[in-house]
Chains A and B, each alone.
Chain A
Amino acid sequence: MEYVPNILFAIALIAGVGFFTRNVKKLSRNIKLGKDVDVSDNKTQRWNNMIRIALGQTKMVVRPVAGIMHIFVYVGFIIINLEVLEIILDGLLGTHRLFSSLGSVYNFLIGSFEILAFLVIVAVVVFWIRRNIIRLQRFIKPEMKGWPKKDGNLILYIELVLMTLFLTMNAADSQLQQLGAEHYVQAGSFPISQFLTPLMSGMSESGLMAIERTAWWMHILGILAFLNYLYYSKHLHILLAFPNTYFGKVKPKGQLNNLQSVTNEVKLMMDPNADPFAAPATSDAAVPEKFGASDVMDLNWVQLLNAYTCTECGRCTSECPANQTGKKLSPRKIMMDTRDRLEEVGKNMDANKGEFVPDGKQLLDDYISREELWACTTCNACVQACPVSIDPLSIIVEMRRYLVMEQSAAPMELNNMMSNIENNGAPWPYNQMDRLNWVNE
């Protein structure tokens, strides 16, 4: 009987981590549905970006209030994880406050965790007020209706509960320490939870133990549950921000990639020695590659990673000139749609033994409308604003490429502009012979 708690704990831990691993595998499979893209360049700069942007939160603090509050939650969660390590070991070994032999260092650590936990609570409350009372514009845009709104609040509630449990556990523990209860070593300092102890004064040792044990169990089970909630939530950014900032764009923002498949064809067209009627040189007479993207599989895997990393903060959308002037385009929605469609494709594969069975749907039109795509000014404000290096613009351009090169479905005025370039080398219908007239005007 003595080992029942240890065994139960081990089972919970294995189940929690196991289920999470399964979801991570699914996540990785879905991301790999994207096309390959070479990201082996600029390693130093990439590491720098990850350290600066993800670890250092440099882009978060561009907006100081949200930025500083976010740092509370971020630092809180990373550092309090040291405590989780102790909790896990205690749970498995049946010990209590295993690291307490660290003495004054331990007291300092527990004291710091408490202060951080308090700051997390402050930040979570501020975040909740911004979402639900102040109702900041970017949190109430159309794409935030329903699940995304609920998801945002749910995360805040979970964090609030976890931190409260942590502090309650400490409060009861310190009371038990004072009572000299068996098993409860004198350890830790409790700068925050000391304010909770008056609520427990006069309680019996067994009552306090019940509170302490309940809080301890719920705290660790809560953390395991939260870990598994990530995959179903926008909250994956706490893990994916790191790879995403590493794989993010390292070229100037204005630089769009040149499509290699197009280069090959253009070179052939311009080569005076090429025989247009010759049989393909190689035997692999493959179907010519599709130009641009109409569905998630046409995007590259970094773009799909971008979609899973998006935490729907909406900074991109709030900076977007099209969105600010009432157009339908919202860069955040581009990312949310990409993820939703990718999830749909993933579920389709799960239901069909790992093979995708065409479902008559695609990212274009079923998720992202043409009106949204054509409203973009390619100004890069969204890319600049993203605190985790997501590039919504690259997806928009890829989808425009599909519309224009596969479907010839550009707006009429743009077709006129393009035929002008084809005919006279300028977007306007002027004669190329008049190019130098400005000198004498």
Chain B
Amino acid sequence: MGEQLRVKTMQEFMAEGKQPEILFWVGSAGSYDDRAKKISRAFVKLLNQANVDFAVLGQEESSTGDVAKRAGNEFLFQMQAMMNIELLNGYEIKRIVTCDPHSFNTLKNEYPGLGGTYDVLHHTQYLKELLDQGRLTLRGETYKGKRITFHDPCYLGRANSVYEAPREILAKTNADLVEMKRHKTTALCCGAGGAQMFKEPEKGNMDINVLRTKDALETNPNIIATGCPYCNTMMTDGIKAHEKENSVTVLDVAELLANSI
């Protein structure tokens, strides 16, 4: 068990008659997946450090329905969306931050049409805000001189044109940022999107994550940074396929920052 985190639920805020600054949308991966849980913890560590008054939904949170929508199950998506919207609107939530680009995309773009309009940020955007406002400062020593390459998650990059926020905050770790040949608009997918995370790939001659990890390894990185729990899993598996797990690690931008304070 790591250090003690301070996490309050919306119910607790309600009981106190208060509103949080932001709602941290943890997402299903961030709540249940062993690897992604560490990302949630790292992000909360940063929120605690910056004294952000944030809330989570806790046991009241449920899948955004994003993955069901991508799989073609519009019914299930809208059921999930409407339940979540009822909850979020009931709590009068204004601002949502999430570490999952898929939740980010759905909450930001697809919920408004169903009655749920919020100011939705990806955690890299919010962390940039905290750094810019001086609420969060980095010592910037841990990764000095390390080579880091950032893999753009499709649902952050191409889907929503967020390319700079993760790079700007990564630069503050004083690491050497190196770009893969395909990056930003031309970044290759990690292979998990569109519900692929939950099924075996169709017949082919290679797995997509292995190909994408090859792109990353060509930059000779010490660390592959991502901003998505699914990309994280795919890239970590890719590193293993290339037998590089002893020399290269895959970390979320939030983890890199949390290790730099």
Contact = CB atoms under 8 A, between A and B. Distances in A.
Contacts of A262: 74-75, 78
Contacts of B75: 262, 265-266, 405
A379 B228 CA distance: 14
Nearest to B211: A325
A404 B198 CA distance: 15
Contacts, number: 217
B67 A417 contact: yes
Interface stretch (A179-187, A188-196, A247-255, A347-355): A247-255
B72 interface: yes
B52 interface: no
A381 B203 contact: no
A255 B198 contact: no
A328 interface: yes
A321 B72 contact: no
B110 A404 contact: no
B32 A405 contact: no
A418 B158 contact: no
A417 B28 CA distance: 12
Contact of B189 (A328, A379, A402, A418): A379
SS class, residues of chain A in contact with chain B:
helix
Nearest to A260: B113
A255 B161 CA distance: 12
B186 A384 contact: yes
Interface stretch (A50-58, A86-94, A431-439): A431-439
Interface in B183-221: 185-186, 188-189, 191-208, 211-212
A327 B158 contact: no
A270 interface: yes
B157 to A, nearest CB: 9
Contact of B40 (A405, A417, A425, A438): A438
A255 B109 contact: yes
Interface residues of B, number: 73
A421 B63 contact: yes
Contacts of A266: 75, 78-79, 82
B15 to A, nearest CB: 16
Interface stretch (A170-178, A217-225, A368-376): A368-376
Contacts of A253: 158-160
A356 interface: no
Given A375-B202, A379-B194, A430-B32, A258 B65 contact: no
Interface in A267-311: 267, 269-270, 291-292
A240 interface: no
B135 interface: no
A417 B193 CA distance: 14
Nearest to B9: A436
Nearest to B205: A326
B59 interface: yes
Given A267-B82, A328-B202, A375-B202, A380 B105 contact: no
A138 B107 CA distance: 36
Chain A: interface size category = 35 or more
A381 B199 contact: no
Nearest to B57: A435
Given A262-B75, A432-B62, A380 B159 contact: yes
Contacts of B202: 322, 327-329, 371, 374-375
A440 interface: yes
B80 A425 contact: yes
Interface in B45-78: 56, 58-59, 61-63, 65, 67-76, 78
B166 to A, nearest CB: 16
B71 A400 contact: yes
B208 to A, nearest CB: 5
A427 interface: yes
- The residue in B26, B62, B72, B185 that gathers the most chain A C-beta atoms within 10 A of its C-beta is B72
A384 B154 CA distance: 11
A328 B201 CA distance: 11
A303 to B, nearest CB: 16
B113 A258 contact: yes
B73 A405 contact: yes
B167 interface: no
Contacts of A436: 7, 9, 31, 56, 58-59
Contact of B28 (A321, A378, A380, A428): A428
Interface stretch (A37-45, A73-81, A150-158, A406-414): A406-414
Nearest to A255: B109
The 5 closest A-B pairs by CB, nearest first: A254-B159, A400-B72, A378-B194, A425-B62, A326-B205
11 contacts: A258-B74, A262-B78, A266-B78, A325-B206, A326-B203, A371-B203, A374-B199, A378-B154, A414-B198, A432-B62, A436-B56
Interface of A: 251-256, 258-259, 262-263, 265-267, 269-270, 291-292, 319, 321-322, 324-329, 371, 374-381, 383-384, 397, 399-405, 410-411, 413-414, 416-418, 421-422, 425-428, 430, 432-441
Interface of B: 1-2, 5, 7, 9, 26, 28, 30-33, 37, 40-41, 44, 56, 58-59, 61-63, 65, 67-76, 78-80, 82-83, 105, 108-110, 113-114, 154-155, 158-161, 185-186, 188-189, 191-208, 211-212
